[in-house]
Amino acid sequence: MDYWVPSLSSASQIAGGDPEKIPETKGKGEASISKRKWGKPPHLSVLLELESMVPVVFSRCRETVSSPVPAPSFHYGGRREARAPRRPRTASRTSGLGRAESELFRPAPRPRPRWRPCPEACAAATASCQHDCVGICLGSGATVIPAGPHVGFRFASYIDDYMVLQREPAGAVIWGYGTPRATVTVTLCRDQEPIMKKGTRVKADSNTWTVVLDPMKPGGPYEVMAQQTLGRINFTLRVHDVLFGDVWLCSGQSNMKMTVSQVFNATGELSNTAAYQSVRILSVSSTQAQQELEDLAKVDLRWSKPTSKNLGHGNFTYMSAVCWLFGRFLYDTLRYPVGLLSSSWSGTPIEAWSSRRSLEACGVPRSGSMPSDLKIGPSAHSVLWNAMIHPLRNMTLKGVIWYQGESNVNFNRDLYNCTFPLLIDDWRQTFHDGSQGQTERLFPFGFVQLSSYLSGEALHDGLPQIRWHQTADFGYVPNQRMPNTFMAAAVDLCDRNSPFGSIHPRDKQTVAYRLHLGARALAYGEKLIFQGPLPQKIELLADTGLLNLTYSQPIKVQRRDDKIFEVSCCSDHQCKWLPAPMDTFSTQTLALNITSCHDTPAALRYAWTPWPCEYKQCPLYHLTSTLPAPPFIAPITNPSSGYHSRTAK
């Protein structure tokens, strides 16, 4: 049963007979009272003597029987035998009466209450209480009280049945709230046998307790039990069916928020869950806060096994399709548990997901607002960081994937090459510190380079620029400013017929697949291709009218395109972009015809439009991996110093 007992003030209200006024509590557990502590049934008046929130459950019924002595002392663990009465002081006086005669003068037996278990009464009263309730059985009745956040001892909001904890080499962090100065012992059990115990005390300043488990191999299921001890009062919390594996956090805006019911082949994807019961999912509620929260205010979907219902719970609600599909691809490779947390909100800029310190470091102005046609979710500084990311900081993570940027196409776009790298660095530092060093300082961080969507003339250059800024103006990752990051290019995954608007392409399977390739390379050290080809050298061939590109990877020219490459042609500091049609090519080189430029060719760019190509029909891909060449812009030097000499302005 899921029980809590209210605090000191709550007990007063119960004694007043008004359970509706009792503050709500939240959690799972059962209590025990030392039999040496109590000498009588623990009536509500006893609760009033407790100095702080003490979780106790009473499950006793009362029956009246005849007894020659007062009621025996209460024993919580079971019925206690009555002791033989001591001889009254008067019986020891010289009266000429023997023991047999003195018994005749003892008081007549009087009824006394005897306490016995009453599971039927409790079960009936708590039949509708699954998790968030208080159950108190007193006398012959029972009271069920809704639970809430104010009772002292509980796990953090996201520690629950079916969760996944981070496997070795890191240690998983278990934390929660308790009564100040109480001791807490966390026990990890397998098949009801304890295999690990960790102890700590509840901090008086924050009412929190934290333990770090020893590193565990992937697998399960396990049970995690936490017991709080204050004096002779114990309270126990349990969560069941816990697995150890890799935990990934998924965040961003609407393209991360889209559910499996919104993607291509939704029916088939929703039915494909039986083989993935070790991929566990959790979805954070869309909430905002002005200050950093210690714990989540609300969870939409508690840790769960995947089902067609919780994966396809309407549009933009519950579990992220990209997150789920990414985890599913990982599981197919890893073959051990994967935990996925989705924390996203549609129509939100990066400023809402960033801490105040990182925004200040980039000089982001506090004034200004998003264009009305793009504003859907909150855009105020740090409000989603405060409510939906910071509360997760104590969790040990394997990595993060991110799908966001559309809301910054026309909102602080020129700062995105600072705000995004600093968001990554700040999240890394925060999770590293919050997990007591268990989450890697430079944990893997993957993101989706934005896809194409139909837009007005005002956004014509904004979308290519935000794609570029997503890489900190390098065009590729990892790089000096974004170490240990990976990117899934989605420039070729356009969807002009999407019922959710072209800004929301439905092919999330390919997005997730490309992300998982990056994770396998960066997070798991596999040697594989995880991003499309970029030119390693750009060389102007004098007197030929050709610009020669040498790639570091073998390329596949899927089709010739006369407009997707453009050359910046400059004269007297005036430049304009002209098409550079594709000419000859080999497995690692491509020649562009730039004869249209009669002046000085200063720079080259590729796929620098909101809609560079139709679905999976861009001209350049990796020869074998079907990964598209990402957009880039680069200077032309003669002799060439190579593409990696940074961006053209």
- Considering the domain architecture, whether residues 462 and 518 belong to the same structural domain is answered as yes
Residue 147 forms part of a structural domain: no
Residue 38 forms part of a structural domain: no
E strands in 481-623: 485-489, 535-541, 546-551, 555-557, 565-571, 574-579, 582-585, 589-593, 600-606, 620-622
- Considering the domain architecture, whether residues 173 and 313 belong to the same structural domain is answered as no
Rounded Cα distance between 261 and 320, Å, is 10
Nearest to 255 by CA among 530, 13, 571, 494: 494
- Considering the domain architecture, whether residues 251 and 229 belong to the same structural domain is answered as no
Per-residue DSSP letters for 257-285?
A: H--GGGSTTHHHHHHTTGGGTTEEEEEE-
Residue 29 forms part of a structural domain: no
What pLDDT was estimated at residue 373?
57
- ω before 639 within 30° of 0 (cis)? yes
- Considering the domain architecture, whether residues 370 and 450 belong to the same structural domain is answered as yes
What pLDDT was estimated at residue 460?
73
Residue 91 forms part of a structural domain: no
Cβ proximity of 598 and 590 under 8 Å: no
Kindly tell me the sign of the dihedral angle through the C-alpha atoms of 255, 505, 451, 247. Answer: positive
Which residues, listed in sequence order, are joined to residue 20 by a DSSP beta bridge? none
- Residue 188 CB contacts under 8 Å (≥ 6 apart), including other chains: 194, 195, 196, 197, 213, 216, 222, 223, 224, 225
- Whole domain around residue 313: which residue ranges? 245-524
Rounded Cα distance between 234 and 31, Å, is 6
- Please tell me the total number of residues recorded for the chain in this structure: 649
- Considering the domain architecture, whether residues 519 and 377 belong to the same structural domain is answered as yes
Residue 43 forms part of a structural domain: no
What pLDDT was estimated at residue 374?
58
Q: Quick count: other Cβ atoms within 10 Å of Cβ 501?
A: 12
- Considering the domain architecture, whether residues 427 and 446 belong to the same structural domain is answered as yes
- Considering the domain architecture, whether residues 542 and 581 belong to the same structural domain is answered as yes
Instruction: Round to the nearest angstrom and report the end-to-end CA distance of the chain.
Output: 65
What pLDDT was estimated at residue 376?
81
pLDDT digits (tens, 9 = 90+) for 469-517: 999 999 999 999 999 999 999 999 999 999 999 999 999 999 999 999 9
- Among the candidates 227, 243, 259, a domain finishes at 243
What pLDDT was estimated at residue 459?
58
What pLDDT was estimated at residue 316?
85
- Considering the domain architecture, whether residues 406 and 347 belong to the same structural domain is answered as yes
Residue 53 forms part of a structural domain: no
Phi, psi of 221 (to 5 degrees): -85, 155
Residue 476 forms part of a structural domain: yes
The CATH number of residue 234's host domain is 2.60.40.10
The CATH number of residue 374's host domain is 3.40.50.1110
What pLDDT was estimated at residue 138?
36
The H-or-E segment that residue 624 falls in is none
- Considering the domain architecture, whether residues 307 and 385 belong to the same structural domain is answered as yes
Residue 98 forms part of a structural domain: no
- Considering the domain architecture, whether residues 189 and 283 belong to the same structural domain is answered as no
- Among the candidates 499, 524, 549, a domain finishes at 524
Q: Give this prediction's pTM.
A: 0.78
Nearest to 353 by CA among 286, 298, 414: 286
DSSP-H helix ranges across 86-195: 99-103, 119-125
Rounded Cα distance between 59 and 116, Å, is 8
CA 33 to chain centroid: 36
Pick out the chain residues at pLDDT < 70: 1-151, 368, 371-375, 456-459, 639-649
Amino acid 82 reads A
- What is the total count of domains within the chain? 3
Rounded Cα distance between 427 and 78, Å, is 52
pLDDT digits (tens, 9 = 90+) for 577-604: 999 999 999 999 999 999 999 999 999 9
The single residue listed with the structure tokens 């968030």 is 132
Over the range 540-576, which residues count as b (16 or more CB within 10 Å of their CB) and which as e? beeeeebbbbbbebebbbbeebeebbbbbbeeeeebe
pLDDT digits (tens, 9 = 90+) for 225-245: 999 999 989 999 999 999 999
- Considering the domain architecture, whether residues 602 and 476 belong to the same structural domain is answered as no
- Among the candidates 208, 243, 278, a domain finishes at 243
- Residue 512 CB contacts under 8 Å (≥ 6 apart), including other chains: 321, 322, 324, 325, 326, 328, 329
Phi, psi of 640 (to 5 degrees): -65, 140
- Considering the domain architecture, whether residues 350 and 218 belong to the same structural domain is answered as no
pLDDT digits (tens, 9 = 90+) for 532-591: 999 999 999 878 889 999 999 999 999 999 999 999 999 888 999 999 999 999 999 999
